Amino acid sequence: MLGAAGPAGAQDLAAEAAAVRDKALSDPTAWRIVESLTTEVGARPVGTAAMARARDWALAKLASLGFENVRAEPFTTKAWIRGEESAEVVAPAPQKLRILGLSGSAPTPKGGLTGEVALFPTYQAMLDQPAGALDGKIAVVTQAMTRTQDGSGYGAILAQRAHGATEAAKRGAIAYLVRSLSTMQTRAPHAGYADYAGIPAAALSPPDAEQLERLAALGKPVSLKLVMASTVDPAATAWNVVGEIRGRERPDELIVVGGHLDSWDPGTGATDDGAGVAITTAAARLATLHARPRRTIRVVLWGSEEQGGSGSAYAAAHAAEVGNVVLAGEADIGAERVWRVALPAAGRDHPAVKAFLAALAPFSVVVSPDPAVRGGADVDGLVQAGAPVVQVAQDASRYFDFHHSADDTLDKIDPKALAQATAVWASLLEVVANSDVDFRPRGASSP
Amino acid sequence: MLGAAGPAGAQDLAAEAAAVRDKALSDPTAWRIVESLTTEVGARPVGTAAMARARDWALAKLASLGFENVRAEPFTTKAWIRGEESAEVVAPAPQKLRILGLSGSAPTPKGGLTGEVALFPTYQAMLDQPAGALDGKIAVVTQAMTRTQDGSGYGAILAQRAHGATEAAKRGAIAYLVRSLSTMQTRAPHAGYADYAGIPAAALSPPDAEQLERLAALGKPVSLKLVMASTVDPAATAWNVVGEIRGRERPDELIVVGGHLDSWDPGTGATDDGAGVAITTAAARLATLHARPRRTIRVVLWGSEEQGGSGSAYAAAHAAEVGNVVLAGEADIGAERVWRVALPAAGRDHPAVKAFLAALAPFSVVVSPDPAVRGGADVDGLVQAGAPVVQVAQDASRYFDFHHSADDTLDKIDPKALAQATAVWASLLEVVANSDVDFRPRGASSP
């Protein structure tokens, strides 16, 4: 049914892609990987003992699944490590607030700091303030995030988390609080990366941000006390954990896929990115169980995506190989079903691509008319160096309910959705690893 | 349309009930009350400075709404006050857990305690253990609560929270952890009352309970460290805040309704029970705006429902009046729409009841064929002393998502649902306060 008409071999490829897809739909490997990682390691922020345990877990897991050349590739990166954190309204109505420090946060003085709130309902309203306008104030931005299927609601207001403290400090603020980039109305704040701005910086839960809006609307000055104690390791060791299924015919041609092993600390990193680790690892295994592939599939479990560094470290360590990378991709958008794929511009008419699209047909996945230009933070370095990239978009509608929060736990993963995403990746790996499809720009020839 | 055929006055009553209902549906009073309480006071556990602020807030609010005889009736009660709390898995996979101490909890020794987990998937499985079976263990019960419209899923397993520590201690346990009585899959544990058992006792969030189940299933001993520091005030002062709309013809005949002013500490007590405070206070005001009622409506904002004491204190202080109570009721089941009412057995055929039921008709409220036997913990004392009681059941399907947790905040309240509940109560107060309907057993005559 799914076999595409085409040159000799194309029907085989289509049949194999469909078989791999169907096997993946009922295979428990991906679920078991993410269950094991989130249970036996849990949260694994870079720079902590838990991250070292995650490395050991990954080495053992890849080896036990039959991957070859399993290794941890160390690199050095800056790590921000959370300490004690609390926030409370001092006046006009004393009460506790829920916060999570952002990675660019400075600690408060030992006993905390107290200041009056300058509240802005939009980030732009704060940016519109002149220098000195926030002198001595705690700047608060309460702009809410929009829920979207493609996750674009996040990027749309990411600046208020990533750069807000810097902009607040420029205008004189002594601390910065931002409504979490969250689509969930719970008291769990969402952590995340922020530039270092020299002042304490934290995310408020959405209800806490709204509470500050109501308190500010009472018309009296609102003052807060913050206590935050973080430390920074400027040269923490982290690891990209790598495993391969070596190709039988063209072992130097590499398909580089993976997820990131590190996570934020409040949850167990189930959807971000235990799911991506599980999906790509299981997909590589499923695509190669029936036969060793023609090309090499390399799974990389990147070691510092959340605070940055693992993608650039990988690209630097493997710069000489970039021309051999026939496809790169990262699964880092949760555990829900794939709803859209974007492929490189080249190779669209190759029978392997047709076989892949035929395998996708039962899932009603949208094939983007535009070429993929990004595949995840950890493959940006490869992409910039010229490697072709695939974007496998999973439904992100609920991803930012839990992302970077205490609620990113295993129970948020639907095993059937995880299996569908694994099936898509496995079909893709199957056809690319067992064909000569060339996604490289200008049809760069194989080495 | 809604006027019931009946004796002279019945049609007036029906028309008035409908008018009060319709006014309540678009009146902002209830919303403003709960917004004010949760914003300007916030969490208000008994025995804290916040509870004294809540008392002052209530006195001022009732006075500003035109209630008469506004007063705080003090009483003494035991208050458990939360201190520092943390829990972590020590082995086999170090990680933090989210807990909230229960009111019967003893503190741990200063540096915490460490013990091995004895995990039971049901409460009965723990009860089945003989004495000594839990010696030195941290007993953990992970039974999950069922979501129900009438809230009966809570009562069905309340014992595992209220009495579990006592039963665990009897069998030798050094601490007790229980899956929160929660219908929400978030990391916010749900606090609550428990008997004092002499050992530390806390609720786990549902994902944390499931994580312990998975860790236990690995087959190695699971050990935990708990640090809990609570204090107990054996004789805290609390207050029932009372306000009345005095009756013009039979002022000694009392309708006693209200909600409870105290709350658990992690949230702001919006649905439990800011909503009940708001609904009954606004309903009493709305039912009397057009004319002073024939009977007296007394609103009581009980001051220690969560840890017990306010209902019995009220009943004791007002024992001499019980025969004058023509109807008692408490709104303490959240902020959603009323879906069922249960009335006392007597008085069913009175035109006032028919007028009330006619006013309810557009809401498709189910009228229980059975008489109300309970109306809320704070009116139990009155009911036991013979006062007739009404049960106004609001939809509890989502109530236990947030109940007693950090997520019980204002944003969980739908203003339209709150207005519907207020409209039901207001219609009820209207017909009872302006008629001679007698719900009292054996038709006890008016004084």
Distance CA A206, CA A401 (A): 11
pLDDT digits (tens, 9 = 90+) for B44-56: 999 999 999 999 9
CA distances to A10, A179, B181, B186, B406 from A185, in Å? 49, 11, 20, 11, 11
Task: Give the pLDDT score at A447.
Answer: 41
Distance CA B424, CA B421 (A): 5
Residue A1 has pLDDT above 70, yes or no: no
CATH code given to domain B83-229 = 3.50.30.30
> Under an 8 A CB cutoff, do B35 and A214 touch?
yes
Distance CA A151, CA A401 (A): 11
Distance CA B157, CA B125 (A): 13
Amino acid at A241: V
> Under an 8 A CB cutoff, do A411 and B185 touch?
yes
Average pLDDT of chain B, as a whole number: 95
Tokens of A349: 């008419």
- Give residue B348's pLDDT band: very low, low, confident or very high (50, 70, 90): confident
pLDDT digits (tens, 9 = 90+) for A368-394: 999 998 999 999 999 999 999 999 999
Q: How many residues are there in chain A?
A: 447
Mean per-residue pLDDT, B357-385:
95
Residue B204 to chain A, least CA–CA distance (Å): 13
Helix ranges restricted to H, B128-274: 152-162, 164-170, 206-217
Nearest to A187 among B210, B211, B409 (CB): B409
The 8-class DSSP code of residue A66 comes to T
Contact A254, A398 (CB under 8 A): no
Task: Give the pLDDT score at B1.
Answer: 29
pLDDT digits (tens, 9 = 90+) for B221-256: 999 999 999 999 999 999 999 999 999 999 999 999
> Edge-to-edge strands of the sheet including A201-204?
A95-97, A85-91, A223-228, A113-120, A137-141, A175-179, A201-204, A99-101
Burial environment of residue A79 by CB neighbours within 10 A (0 to 12, 13 to 18, 19 or more): buried
In the block, residue with structure tokens 């009736």: B73
* Domain residue ranges in chain B: 10-79+234-443, 83-229
Q: What are phi and psi of B44, to 5 degrees?
A: -150, 65
Mean per-residue pLDDT, B8-12:
72
* Contacts of A294 by beta carbon, 8 Å cutoff, 6+ apart: A247, A248, A249, A250, A433, A434, A435, A436
Q: Does domain A10-80+234-443 have CATH number 3.40.630.10?
A: yes
Listed in order, strand segments (DSSP E) in B263-396 are 295-302, 325-330, 338-342, 366-367, 391-394
- Give residue A364's pLDDT band: very low, low, confident or very high (50, 70, 90): very high
Contact B179, B203 (CB under 8 A): yes
Task: Give the pLDDT score at B3.
Answer: 34
- Chain A to chain B, count of Cβ pairs less than 8 Å apart? 92
Distance CA A349, CA A98 (A): 53
Residue A283 to chain B, least CA–CA distance (Å): 24
Task: Give the pLDDT score at B442.
Answer: 60
Average pLDDT of chain A, as a whole number: 95
Residue A110 has pLDDT above 50, yes or no: yes
Class of domain B10-79+234-443: alpha beta
Look at residue A100 and give its three-state secondary structure. strand
B305 is known as an active-site residue: yes
Residue B39 to chain A, least CA–CA distance (Å): 7
Both ends of chain A: CA-CA distance in Å?
36
pLDDT digits (tens, 9 = 90+) for A7-38: 337 789 999 999 999 999 999 999 999 999 99
User: Which residues in chain B are closer than 8 Å to A89, comparing Cβ atoms?
Assistant: 42
Residue A215 has pLDDT above 50, yes or no: yes
Residue B369 has pLDDT above 90, yes or no: yes
pLDDT digits (tens, 9 = 90+) for A251-271: 999 999 999 999 999 999 999
Amino acid at B18: A
CA B281 to chain centre: 15
Distance CA A242, CA A301 (A): 6
Look at residue A333 and give its three-state secondary structure. coil
Residue B436 has pLDDT above 50, yes or no: yes
**Candidates B16, B85, B244, B305; catalytic one:** B305
User: Which residues in chain B are closer than 8 Å to A186, comparing Cβ atoms?
Assistant: 186, 188, 406-407
Identical fold for domains A10-80+234-443 and A83-229, yes or no, is no
Distance CA B94, CA A121 (A): 40
The ipTM is 0.93
Residue A446 has pLDDT above 50, yes or no: no
Contact A299, A422 (CB under 8 A): no
- H/E element holding A37? helix A29-40
Residue A443 has pLDDT above 60, yes or no: no
In the block, residue with structure tokens 């036990």: A64
Percent of chain A with pLDDT over 70: 97
A contact set with B (CB within 8 A): 35, 39-43, 49-50, 53, 89, 92-96, 98, 185-188, 206-207, 210-211, 214-215, 218, 266-268, 406-407, 409-412
Task: Give the pLDDT score at A406.
Answer: 98
CA A65 to chain centre: 23
Task: Give the pLDDT score at A442.
Answer: 60
User: Which residue in B419, B420, B434 sits closest to B289, CA to CA?
Assistant: B434
User: Which residues in chain B are closer than 8 Å to A267, comparing Cβ atoms?
Assistant: 187
**Candidates A85, A167, A253, A305; catalytic one:** A305
- Give residue A440's pLDDT band: very low, low, confident or very high (50, 70, 90): confident
Mean per-residue pLDDT, B348-356:
94
Distance CA B360, CA B425 (A): 10
Nearest to B406 among A39, A98, A409 (CB): A98
Nearest to B211 among A39, A95, A206 (CB): A39
Residue A3 has pLDDT above 70, yes or no: no
Mean per-residue pLDDT, A180-193:
98
Look at residue A220 and give its three-state secondary structure. coil
Which of A37, A99, A186 is the best mutation test for B, with the most CBs of B within 10 A? A186
Contact B121, B128 (CB under 8 A): no
Distance CA B200, CA B222 (A): 18
Give the predicted TM-score (pTM) of the model: 0.94
Task: Give the pLDDT score at A369.
Answer: 93
Task: Give the pLDDT score at B55.
Answer: 98
Q: Which has more confidence, A104 or B1?
A: A104
Mean per-residue pLDDT, B371-390:
95
Tokens of B253: 């005949």
Look at residue A20 and give its three-state secondary structure. helix
Cβ count near A7 (within 10 Å): 8
Residue A361 has pLDDT above 50, yes or no: yes
B contact set with A (CB within 8 A): 35, 39-43, 49-50, 53, 89, 92-96, 98, 185-188, 206-207, 210-211, 214-215, 218, 266-268, 406-407, 409-412
> Under an 8 A CB cutoff, do A407 and B206 touch?
no
Helix ranges restricted to H, B118-225: 123-127, 152-162, 164-170, 206-217
Task: Give the pLDDT score at B266.
Answer: 98
Residue A304 has pLDDT above 90, yes or no: yes
> Edge-to-edge strands of the sheet including A250-260?
A68-81, A231-245, A295-302, A250-260, A325-330
